[in-house]
Chains A and B, each alone.
Chain A
Amino acid sequence: MYRILAREDLTPDINLFKVEAPEIARKAQAGQFVIVRSDEKGERIPLTIADWNKEEGSVAVVFMKVGTSTRKLACLNAGDNILDFVGPLGRPTEIEKFGTVACVAGGFAIATIVPIARAMKQAGNKVISIMGFRSKDLVFWEEKLDSMSDELVVTTDDGSYKRKGLVTEPLKELLQNTEVNRVIAIGPTVMMKFCSLTTRPFSVKTIVSLNPIMVDGTGMCGCCRVSVGGETKFACVDGPDFDGHQVDWDLLMSRQRAYLDEEKESVKLWDSRTSGGKSYA
């Protein structure tokens, strides 16, 4: 059992848990993830490590309420326990002094890009961050990312806050006007795909963090296999970071949709038992 030390609601549907996991905190590096299972009947789901504190022995994860597993997690509060919390898994993001690094994140993946931006900054890079949200009420951690970036651009799809549009537009302008040595793009799959398409003509190496469905998360099952440069890779042990210009995006998206019907059925059952997911049945 892993105790939740603190809960923070970043938006109505995006929550942060700071979890007591001293051994994981000691080893965690930017870009790695944990596998979480909320209860005996729960799925094993991967959540990216958003932060860690060795002294406190804590690991922070951020998740968005989408299916049953994240609905169950969202019912938990500080002092409650998570049944399983396994990590740190996956390979850490490659951090070195590249020169200028663009950190691009969309939606709840802001939480994932923050430790990477921090590590890139500490490695001596100039960090230019771009964060995108659907609308103003979903914006979080702007100051946090700003504090570890040399420049920060914020976009909203509907223009309700700062720049209107998608992250790919400022990304393209940046590449046109500045020499960028590496791009890190993390967010929804479609956003990572279009960031990779945007950077390709500029031949700037673009690292994406893939989020296929996983089961064990340790290389045992192959559920998370992705095609990169024509080769099958397991995102859990070979990634989750890959070269975005080599990823077969359509394959990834179709595999992510494999259980859409079952997810709907599961959520319906959960909501019917919890009157909208307010509490455990």
Chain B
Amino acid sequence: MPKKINLNRVPIPKQEAAERARNFNEVALGYSEEQAIEEANRCLQCPKPICKEGCPVNVDIPEFIKALREGDMPEAVRILKGKNSLPGVCGRVCPQEMQCEKTCVLAKKGAPIAIGRLERYVADWERTHPQTAGKQKDNYAANSSKVAVVGSGPAGLTCAADLAKMGYAVTIFEALHVAGGVLMYGIPEFRLPKTIVQGEVDYVKSLGVETKLDQVIGKIATVDELLDNGYDAVFLAPGAGAPMFLNIPGENLSNIYSANEFLTRTNLMKAYLFPEYDTPIKVGKRVAVFGGGNVAMDASRCALRLGAEEVYIIYRRSKVEMPARLEERENAEEEGVIFKLLTNPKRFIGDEQGRVKAVELYEMELGEPDESGRRRPIPKPGTEFTMDIDAAISALGTRPNPIIPSTTKGLALTKWGTVKTDEATGRTSRERIWCGGDMATGAATVISAMGAGKRAAADIDAYFKGKS
């Protein structure tokens, strides 16, 4: 059935920028049924679907889109979840433009299928139709091996789900008081509602995965104690770890936050509902956010919603070099975040109470490309100026948390302190210990962590099959 190519990507409805900048409700509202089918109908159903190659967890993309447009939603759910245990999360936060939508044949014409939005539509349909969706009652052959998964973020949840589907007895150890890792403490409610995350955690649990909360591995039990006490393998996915600061004078003044702290207070502890919730947060009127990644966008947009009047993103390079997703950058700008580019901080200035009251900045210009391929920012002498602020947030990335490496003998590390890990299999220098996610790669995306979880699950299975 030769079809006329339709290049009209169906836009996703959003809350108005001015309104959404003052609330924590989800920004993107999701497709209606008509919109989803209209978008799904654009899919060419390529005989060799290269979109799949762009997906780190190899979702059967044309197949679930076909089921969707034929109105067989339970089948669409089944296909999607066959490969991806967290579709409601991925449909919202994956950088599809760099992955499946980049390789979609229609991308060449500038109108790739909105795979992420369709994925979200299918996941949300399942959540709102628990009766008709039907439970996946695959009969997983029980397996005698037990696996401990450290961390319940995207890597841990994916690895646990895949192993459970293969019949392994899986226990997740989570340090915080809820499962979900960065999906709970990091990514804000308005981008990824926490009920969606908990729905996907519940799905993973429904596969038979046990979750133990409040368990800091390395403290309450070491990795070796897990291996000595009944677990046959351990998958380490404890996440990004320790925040980095600017290393400039004054940065321990009050109301200067790491993005981790700012986002944890806001998202995990629900400081935006203070005093109904007990955890406070301070933004004041003017907030400076340092960094140019997705976390800087999240933090700046949270600051607006917490009541700040002016929020600045201060970044030492230009907009082109910003690592944040284009969509997030646009969302932030639409909401009123002000970008101060080619600008770098020199020092913070405090008041007599020890609270930050200003930051001294200076201008930069771009020189030759550095080892990252981006043009190196160079200070412009004599350009110092001072900006009054009430709060500051460092969104400069993280370095690995040392708790697990320092308590696990013989676990080889890289010079950055991440765990030396074989990318294809997740294997570490220690037998029976696998690793994935930010602990292996340094800060990266949700979906790349999920891909690592998936590959490790497959390799753990291969390891035990080879043993028996």
Judging by beta carbons under 8 Å apart, are A232 and B245 in contact? yes
* Given A37-B177, A250-B354, A259-B280, A221 contacting B258 (CB threshold 8 A): yes
Q: Bound state CA distance, A68 and B276, in angstroms?
A: 11
Of the listed stretches B90-98, B212-220, B379-387, chain A binds B212-220
Q: Does A95 contact B (CB under 8 A)?
A: no
Nearest residue (CB) in B for A35 is B214
* Given A41-B278, A254-B353, A222 contacting B242 (CB threshold 8 A): yes
* Given A86-B216, A219-B403, A258 contacting B255 (CB threshold 8 A): yes
User: For residues 209 through 259 of chain A, which have their beta carbon under 8 Å from a beta carbon of chain B?
Assistant: 215-216, 218-223, 225-227, 232, 234, 237, 250-251, 254-255, 257-259
Q: Report which of B213, B219, B258, B265 forms a contact with A87, defined as CB distance below 8 A.
A: B219
Q: Report which of B177, B220, B251 forms a contact with A84, defined as CB distance below 8 A.
A: B177
* Given A222-B258, A257-B254, A237 contacting B403 (CB threshold 8 A): yes
The residues of B that contact A223 with a CB separation of less than 8 Å are 257-258, 261
Q: Bound state CA distance, A27 and B217, in angstroms?
A: 12
The residues of A that contact B264 with a CB separation of less than 8 Å are 215-216, 220-221
Nearest residue (CB) in B for A83 is B177
Q: Bound state CA distance, A171 and B348, in angstroms?
A: 38
Q: Bound state CA distance, A83 and B176, in angstroms?
A: 12
Judging by beta carbons under 8 Å apart, are A27 and B354 in contact? no
Q: How far is the CB of A215 from chain B (nearest CB, A)?
A: 6
Judging by beta carbons under 8 Å apart, are A88 and B177 in contact? no
Judging by beta carbons under 8 Å apart, are B280 and A219 in contact? no
Q: Does A126 contact B (CB under 8 A)?
A: no
Q: Does B275 contact A (CB under 8 A)?
A: yes
Judging by beta carbons under 8 Å apart, are B243 and A222 in contact? yes
Judging by beta carbons under 8 Å apart, are A23 and B220 in contact? yes
Q: Report which of B239, B261, B270, B275 forms a contact with A266, defined as CB distance below 8 A.
A: B275
Q: How far is the CB of B399 from chain A (nearest CB, A)?
A: 10
Judging by beta carbons under 8 Å apart, are A41 and B277 in contact? yes
User: For residues 187 through 202 of chain A, which have their beta carbon under 8 Å from a beta carbon of chain B?
Assistant: none
Q: Does B191 contact A (CB under 8 A)?
A: no
Q: How far is the CB of B13 from chain A (nearest CB, A)?
A: 32
The residues of A that contact B258 with a CB separation of less than 8 Å are 221-223
Q: How far is the CB of B140 from chain A (nearest CB, A)?
A: 29
* Interface residue range, chain A: 35 or more
Q: Does B12 contact A (CB under 8 A)?
A: no
Q: Bound state CA distance, A24 and B214, in angstroms?
A: 11
Q: Bound state CA distance, A89 and B269, in angstroms?
A: 20
Q: Bound state CA distance, A86 and B220, in angstroms?
A: 9
Q: Does A262 contact B (CB under 8 A)?
A: yes
* Given A215-B264, A232-B252, A220 contacting B242 (CB threshold 8 A): yes
Q: Does B441 contact A (CB under 8 A)?
A: no
Q: Bound state CA distance, A69 and B354, in angstroms?
A: 25
Judging by beta carbons under 8 Å apart, are A220 and B243 in contact? yes
* Given A86-B214, A222-B243, A266-B278, A27 contacting B219 (CB threshold 8 A): yes
Nearest residue (CB) in A for B220 is A23
Q: Bound state CA distance, A84 and B278, in angstroms?
A: 15
Nearest residue (CB) in B for A268 is B275
Judging by beta carbons under 8 Å apart, are B276 and A41 in contact? yes
Q: Bound state CA distance, A265 and B275, in angstroms?
A: 7
* Given A220-B264, A258-B254, A234 contacting B242 (CB threshold 8 A): yes
Q: Bound state CA distance, A227 and B355, in angstroms?
A: 16
Q: Bound state CA distance, A23 and B239, in angstroms?
A: 23
Q: Bound state CA distance, A62 and B182, in angstroms?
A: 32
Q: How far is the CB of A200 from chain B (nearest CB, A)?
A: 22
Q: Does A43 contact B (CB under 8 A)?
A: yes
Q: Bound state CA distance, A23 and B214, in angstroms?
A: 11
* Given A44-B269, A87-B219, A255-B354, A218 contacting B403 (CB threshold 8 A): yes
Q: Contact string, A82-100, partner B, CB cutoff 8 A, digits 1/0? A: 0111111100000000000
User: For residues 241 through 271 of chain B, which have their beta carbon under 8 Å from a beta carbon of chain A?
Assistant: 241-243, 245, 251-255, 257-258, 260-261, 264-265, 269-270
Q: Bound state CA distance, A265 and B271, in angstroms?
A: 14
User: For residues 68 through 89 of chain A, which have their beta carbon under 8 Å from a beta carbon of chain B?
Assistant: 68-69, 72, 83-89
Judging by beta carbons under 8 Å apart, are A220 and B214 in contact? no
Q: Bound state CA distance, A251 and B185, in angstroms?
A: 27
Q: Does A42 contact B (CB under 8 A)?
A: yes
Closest 5 CB pairs of A and B: A254-B354, A262-B280, A221-B261, A258-B254, A222-B258
12 intermolecular pairs with C-beta atoms under 8 Å apart: A23-B220, A27-B221, A43-B269, A87-B216, A88-B219, A215-B261, A215-B265, A218-B175, A219-B403, A220-B401, A255-B354, A265-B275
Extra pairs beyond A44-B177, A84-B214, A215-B269 (5, CB < 8 Å): A88-B219, A218-B401, A223-B258, A223-B261, A265-B275
Q: Interface residues, chain B, CB within 8 Å of chain A?
A: 175-177, 185, 213-216, 219-221, 239-243, 245, 251-255, 257-258, 260-261, 264-265, 269-270, 274-280, 282, 353-355, 401-403
